[in-house]
C-alpha cells in the first residue's frame, strides 16, 4: 500500500516535470518570435519609406543659379558751360565712355586726385571723354577761380562749369570729389564719392573699353 502511494507521487511528479518542460519550450518559442518581430519593426522604422534620388542623375543644382542681366541706369542729361562759355549737354558726349567728375578748387581731396586724372586723360583721351565739372556757386567758387587753378597746375583735361548746380542736383552730389563712370551708351557704370586713384580709374575705363 505504501509502495503504491509512492508510485502515484512519482507519476504526478513526472507529469509536472513534463508539463513544465513543454510550457517552457512554448514560452521560449513565443518570446523568441516576439523579439524577432520587434527587431523587424525597429528596422522598418529606420528604413526610409522611399529611396533617395540618385544625385548622379540629377542635372539641376539648386545652389547654382545664373546671374540675371545687370540693371542699367541711364545717366541723367544736364547742361553745363565749357571753358569758352558755350552751353553743352552731357548727352553730347555719348558714343564713348565718360568720366564725369565734380570738383572745386578749394577742395583738398579734389586737388589730390587731379594729377592722376590728368595722367589717365593723356593716356585715353582719344577713347574716353573726360568732363571735369567745376561746381560754381558764384562766391566760394567762381569760373575765374576754377579756370586759374587748372591753368596754374598745367592740367590738360577739359574743364566745364556747373553754373546752375544742375548736375550736382541731378546726381545728388553731397560731397566732392564725386566721379560717375558712364558707358558709351549713356548708362551709369559706377559712382565714386571721394578721391580715387589712377589705378581704380584706369581699371574702370579698361573694363568699358574692352566691351
Q: Write out the three cell numbers for 171.
A: 546726381
Q: Give the 3-state DSSP-derived string for 85-149, with helices as H, strands as E and coil as C.
A: CCEEEHHHHCCCCEEEEEECCCCHHHHHHHHHHHHHHHHHCCCCEEEEEEECCCCCCCHHHHHHH
Other C-beta atoms lying within 10 Å of the C-beta of residue 170: 14
In this predicted structure, what is the pLDDT of residue 211?
Answer: 72
In this predicted structure, what is the pLDDT of residue 71?
Answer: 73
Provide the β-strand partners of residue 66. Answer: none
pLDDT in tens, 54-70: 444 444 444 444 555 56
Kindly give, in sequence order, each residue whose CB lies less than 8 Å from that of residue 114, ignoring residues fewer than 6 positions away. 103, 132, 153, 155
What does R_g of the chain's alpha carbons equal in angstroms? 45
Mean local confidence (pLDDT), 175-193: 97
At residue 35 the predicted structure's pLDDT band, cuts being 50, 70 and 90, is very low
In this predicted structure, what is the pLDDT of residue 64?
Answer: 44
At residue 28 the predicted structure's pLDDT band, cuts being 50, 70 and 90, is very low
At residue 155 the predicted structure's pLDDT band, cuts being 50, 70 and 90, is very high
Task: Give the full edge-to-edge strand order of the sheet including 73-74.
Answer: 73-74, 187-193, 178-182, 98-103, 129-135, 159-162, 79-82, 87-89
Q: Say if residue 41's pLDDT is above 60.
A: no
Mean local confidence (pLDDT), 91-115: 98
At residue 72 the predicted structure's pLDDT band, cuts being 50, 70 and 90, is confident
Measure the CA–CA gap between 20 and 128, rounded to whole angstroms.
Answer: 107
User: Phi, psi (5° rounding) for residue 178?
Assistant: -130, 135
User: Phi, psi (5° rounding) for residue 28?
Assistant: -65, -40
Cβ(89)–Cβ(133) below 8 Å: no
Mean local confidence (pLDDT), 41-46: 33
The DSSP bridge pattern shows strands 129-135 and 98-103 to be parallel
Percent with pLDDT over 90 in the chain: 65
Percent with pLDDT over 70 in the chain: 67
Amino acid at each position: 500500500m505504501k509502495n503504491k502511494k509512492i508510485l502515484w507521487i512519482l507519476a504526478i511528479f513526472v507529469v509536472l516535470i513534463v508539463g513544465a518542460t513543454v510550457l517552457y519550450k512554448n514560452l521560449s518559442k513565443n518570446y523568441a518570435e516576439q523579439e524577432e518581430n520587434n527587431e523587424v519593426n525597429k528596422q522598418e522604422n529606420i528604413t526610409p519609406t522611399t529611396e533617395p534620388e540618385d544625385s548622379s542623375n540629377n542635372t539641376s543644382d539648386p545652389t547654382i543659379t545664373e546671374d540675371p542681366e545687370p540693371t542699367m541706369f541711364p545717366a541723367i542729361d544736364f547742361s553745363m558751360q565749357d571753358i569758352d562759355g558755350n552751353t553743352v549737354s552731357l548727352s553730347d558726349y555719348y558714343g564713348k565712355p565718360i568720366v564725369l567728375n565734380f570738383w572745386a578748387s578749394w577742395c583738398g581731396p579734389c586737388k589730390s586726385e587731379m594729377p592722376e586724372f590728368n595722367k589717365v586723360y593723356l593716356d585715353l583721351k582719344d577713347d574716353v571723354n573726360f568732363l571735369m565739372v567745376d561746381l560754381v556757386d558764384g562766391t566760394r567758387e567762381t569760373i575765374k577761380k576754377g579756370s586759374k587753378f587748372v591753368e596754374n597746375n598745367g592740367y590738360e583735361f577739359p574743364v566745364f562749369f556747373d553754373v546752375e548746380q544742375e548736375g550736382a542736383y541731378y546726381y545728388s552730389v553731397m560731397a566732392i570729389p564725386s566721379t560717375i563712370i558712364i558707358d558709351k551708351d549713356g548708362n551709369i557704370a559706377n559712382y565714386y564719392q571721394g578721391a580715387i586713384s589712377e589705378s581704380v580709374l584706369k581699371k574702370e575705363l579698361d573694363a568699358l573699353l574692352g566691351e
